[in-house]
Amino acid sequence: MTESSQQLYDLKVKGQFQDALLFAEDEFYKDSENINRIVDYVSLLIDFKLFEKAEEVISDSPYKPQDNKNIYFLYVDLYTRWPRLNKLNKLNKKCLPGFSDEAQEIKDISSKETNLRPDKRYFKNQLLELLKELLDNYPEYQKIFKKAFVQIKNNRLEDGYYNLKEFALSTDKKDLGYFVLAELALVDKKFKLAKERFKKLEGKFEPNWIIYNRLGDIELAQGNEQKAESYYLKAIGMNPDDFDTNLDLIRTYTLKGDIKKATIQYKKAVSKFGEGKVKFILPHIKKTSKSKYKGTIINGLVWHENGGNILPIEIFSTPSEDSEIHPSGNLGITLLDSIHLAFGVARKSVLCQKNPKELNKVIQINIPESIIYKDGASAGLAFVVGIMAEFMSEKIPSDSAFTGELSLEGRILPIGGLKEKLTAAYINGINTVYIPKENFPQLYQLQNRVKSALKIRFVDHYENVIEDMWKI
């Protein structure tokens, strides 16, 4: 056993699974072509249910599942636990003839799934399509664009991105160079930087519609469907025949739950491009149309003996002559008390008192999974903000998370397990976290990469969150 493997094993034995994942991530990026490090990293990503990231790492590796059993079985584990059974079916058809009878025993079941929200692979493939266009539009740079295309296509990503960056910094066509830099930031999911760069190109770069397309991609990836819709509509107004923007708009309406608009846009796309190119998205529209849930989902941060986790809380309201709260789920006494306390604080809010009619709602609050570490008071901040969102018909960013105990006066009291909770936020792709101000001294416990990746907002009263999120 190598020293690296031993360290990883020791962390797992101690139950320090979050630290194990961060360690495996570090080791993987030191040598991303090492098969053992790929297996260690991806296995932990799957254990943490970070399925999209796991798929991205495997697919970007230099190994093919039909040639390498380790990679094949990683895919099998991923598509079985995700599940993406249609992908599993295709994988087995390709790989099983060359593998053992043991592998042949894997069940062959089919289902149609696809991801609607842009991810890292989406941005990479988008960059490849862009390079094809640049090859046609800028023949003078054909050599560099072709070289970068081949490198990225063959998963030599660092080489391809480096060459594009060198071109962008040296070219006389400054707007083109800046656009390429914006694309590279987008591929790397540096959304703030990418957005700043694309914004600076508004009205300066042709075709200008592509700037709005990319801004829409950024907002959609971050869960801001309303802003994404606005940008995509601008792009499609400039170029109604762009296939990708038409498809992006369908995705956006579907994710918003606006089935009427999604269906109308789908029919327009079928008329323009043919059913074959867009029919894959139809099951998602139908699935969403069947869902009656239109409420608020807010992410709590919880702690348990093996680390932290994200706890999605569903909150739904219906009009009523009075205001009531109905918790559901296998909830402990402490958690029920926290919900009722949050409901009382929200009702007494100055903002709600200014609009008393908004209080005439029955609030249904549910924690979907029955997990033992739900019984705690630190979800108080998440509860009161979520209930306020329903009372006031406001949106909560999907990439935010909350932890803090709530007092009767609305103050936010310190909590335990800060390191584990914020590490969980980092691992799960959370962008902004709201935590008690009194927990500031515990930040030293965090790894630097966790602190630098998160926007940490310190609050001592729940109204601080309301002001920050909704500018009220």
271 and 359 both lie in a single domain: no
Domain presence at residue 59:
yes
20 and 149 both lie in a single domain: no
Instruction: Say whether pLDDT at 295 is over 90.
Output: no
Domain presence at residue 110:
no
Is the CB of residue 262 less than 8 Å from the CB of residue 253? Answer: yes
458 and 388 both lie in a single domain: yes
More confident residue, 222 or 247: 247
125 and 86 both lie in a single domain: no
- Tens-place pLDDT, residues 384-406: 999 999 888 888 988 899 999 99
pTM for the full predicted model: 0.57
Could you give the dihedral angle defined by the CA atoms of residues 227, 281, 429 and 343, in that order, rounded to the nearest 10 degrees? 70
pLDDT of residue 98: 65
Distance (Å, rounded) from C-alpha 418 to C-alpha 6?
Answer: 27
210 and 319 both lie in a single domain: no
Of the candidates 270, 290, 310, which is a domain's last residue? 290
Domain presence at residue 277:
yes
pLDDT of residue 371: 47
322 and 427 both lie in a single domain: yes
Percentage with pLDDT > 90 across the chain? 38
Q: How many domains are there within the chain?
A: 3
In this structure, of 34-38, 203-207, 254-258, 312-316, the range with the lowest mean pLDDT score is 254-258
461 and 362 both lie in a single domain: yes
Average pLDDT over residues 147-158: 86
95 and 53 both lie in a single domain: yes
Residue 55's Cα: distance from chain center in Å? 14
Of the candidates 236, 265, 290, which is a domain's last residue? 290
Distance (Å, rounded) from C-alpha 48 to C-alpha 359?
Answer: 39
Domain that holds residue 209: 120-290
pLDDT of residue 457: 95
